Amino acid sequence: MTGLAKGAWWATCGAALAGCMLAAAQPARAPDDGGAAGAAGAALPAVAPRNVLLIVIDTLRQDHLGCYGYGRPTSPHLDAFAAAGARFQHCLAASSWTEPSTASLLSGLHAARHGAHEYSVLPDELELISERLAAAGWRTLAVSGNPNASPQFRFDQGFDQFWFDDSDKAREYPDVSELVAHAEALLAQDDGRPTFCWLHVMNVHGPYVAPEAFRDRFRRPGSRDFPFQSEVWKEVMRKGEVARRADVTPADVQDLEDRYDAAIAWTDDVLGRFLARRRATTAGQNELVVITADHGEELFDHGGFGHGFTLHREVVDVPLLLCGPGIAPARVAAPVGLVDVAATLLELAGQLPSVGGAGGRFGDGQSLVPLLTGGEFERDLPLVAQLERERQGQAFLLQSWPSRLIETRVDYAGRRDVAELFDRVADPAERRDLLLAEPERSTRLRALLAARRAALEAQGMAAQRAALDPEQQRQMEALGYGGP
């Protein structure tokens, strides 16, 4: 299969490509331990994209999107976007809450390396993708609705313009439509330079804000309005308050799911219209667009609610969709991580040389370009995820496909130093812990995890903890973070 013609790439999505997409939908081979499964053998265009848009939908679980098999109609626009480009089937977040995971997304470094685990200022020595592109003459823009991915923690490194406004601390976050309007205003100040724009939207984050028409679309009979900001909510969000979980009924959980889905559908609708307007511009027709999430959300899958407490699949499996000139429709089966995104974007933007034809590196991340072009992709070291929060939780995950080993300091039941082993292919919902049933695999992976963790921490930077004022502290608590 050849790459798409240059020009209005989105316009080619449709019936004409149906056969092509079906062919590309078959993974070349099952991904194995650290290996690769190639996608379509597409040729990338000789000319780099004019712009790169990185859209992060905060708290978006992969399995609540139609293009990842969800049964409810939450994401028609994202599904069409996914069908027109590359959809990575297994993308591992770097952590299960915003700050460390977004720092990894932008730097390509694992959390143990950048050290920004909780309310930390990103170290100066950290190189973000924005700094690399700015040094190459790109215009660099950011619009973020999340205080945990904002200038207060130095996420503005390398950005010419960074829109962030939390002057109204009483509201949870700006609506996705408002954030998109700010991104469009910045993009419109086009001065002819190639542009990188990171847009970080928030409605899928609790309390899952969506217009009533979208709420109505997903409200099922028998669901009960779960009160956000109530004492039950606050105590359920805090690890260790296990007893209060009994106060959350199945009708409450149904309401949470309904609200969550409505917020996805609203976000999908706003972003779908935004991308359509981009496509109508000259620059937008040669624009590389990436859509992903910083982490997912627990909806009582493993006994908890929210994020940033555990590393189970509902909080670390995120969507990764890539669409743009020369990106052929494909499903990529090889497991990848958010740490790989920066390297991939840099290489596609012509700003990162590939190493021996095997894709370039940025931080710990490996460029995924070979997976888009049928080239060689060999993961050199296992992917990891990490949670290191003072009160809410500490855990470390090592992925050696299809195995996932998770070591948790204290679990929801109050048990200490818990290890769990899951097979992501045989048990996608992570219901069967294989730790005792497979002692050999467990022992091998626990040793690998310890060695990998020690090696990463030995190369860690010192990220200084930021001092939050009482208002910032209250805002963190309103978002469910508890604060330091």
**Spatial distance between the Cα atoms of 8 and 12, rounded to a whole number of angstroms:** 7
Report the candidate in 243, 239, 245 with the shortest Cα–Cα distance to residue 390. 239
**Spatial distance between the Cα atoms of 163 and 201, rounded to a whole number of angstroms:** 12
> In 308-368, which ranges are E strands?
317-318, 320-323, 330-332, 336-337, 361-362, 365-366
The smaller minimum CB distance to Zn ion, of residues 98 and 107, is found at 98
Specify the long-range contacts of residues 136-139, CB closer than 8 Å, at least 24 apart: 136/351, 137/193, 137/194, 138/193, 138/194, 138/195, 138/196, 138/349, 139/191, 139/193, 139/194, 139/195, 139/196
The smaller minimum CB distance to Zn ion, of residues 100 and 326, is found at 100
- Rounded to 10 degrees, the C-alpha dihedral 453/155/202/236 comes to 50
The smaller minimum CB distance to Zn ion, of residues 58 and 269, is found at 58
Bridge-partner residues for 88, per DSSP? 332
Q: From the CB of 18, what's the least distance to Zn ion, in Å?
A: 35
The smaller minimum CB distance to Zn ion, of residues 293 and 332, is found at 293
The smaller minimum CB distance to Zn ion, of residues 50 and 114, is found at 114
Residues that bind Zn ion (CB under 5 A): 58, 98, 294
Match 């590393």 to its residue by tokens: 311
Which residue lies nearest Zn ion, judged by its C-beta?
98
Q: From the CB of 387, what's the least distance to Zn ion, in Å?
A: 13
Q: From the CB of 395, what's the least distance to Zn ion, in Å?
A: 16
Say how many Å lie between the first and final Cα of the chain, rounded.
52
The smaller minimum CB distance to Zn ion, of residues 58 and 430, is found at 58
Phi, psi of 169, rounded to the nearest 5 degrees: -80, -5
The smaller minimum CB distance to Zn ion, of residues 102 and 223, is found at 102
Q: From the CB of 330, what's the least distance to Zn ion, in Å?
A: 27
Buried b / exposed e along 429-438 (16+ C-beta atoms within 10 A): ebeebbbeee
C-alpha distances in Å from residue 427, one per residue of 64, 297, 320 = 18, 19, 21
Q: From the CB of 293, what's the least distance to Zn ion, in Å?
A: 8
The smaller minimum CB distance to Zn ion, of residues 58 and 127, is found at 58
C-alpha distances in Å from residue 345, one per residue of 125, 461, 484 = 21, 24, 34
Q: From the CB of 295, what's the least distance to Zn ion, in Å?
A: 5
Q: From the CB of 200, what's the least distance to Zn ion, in Å?
A: 8
Q: From the CB of 71, what's the least distance to Zn ion, in Å?
A: 25
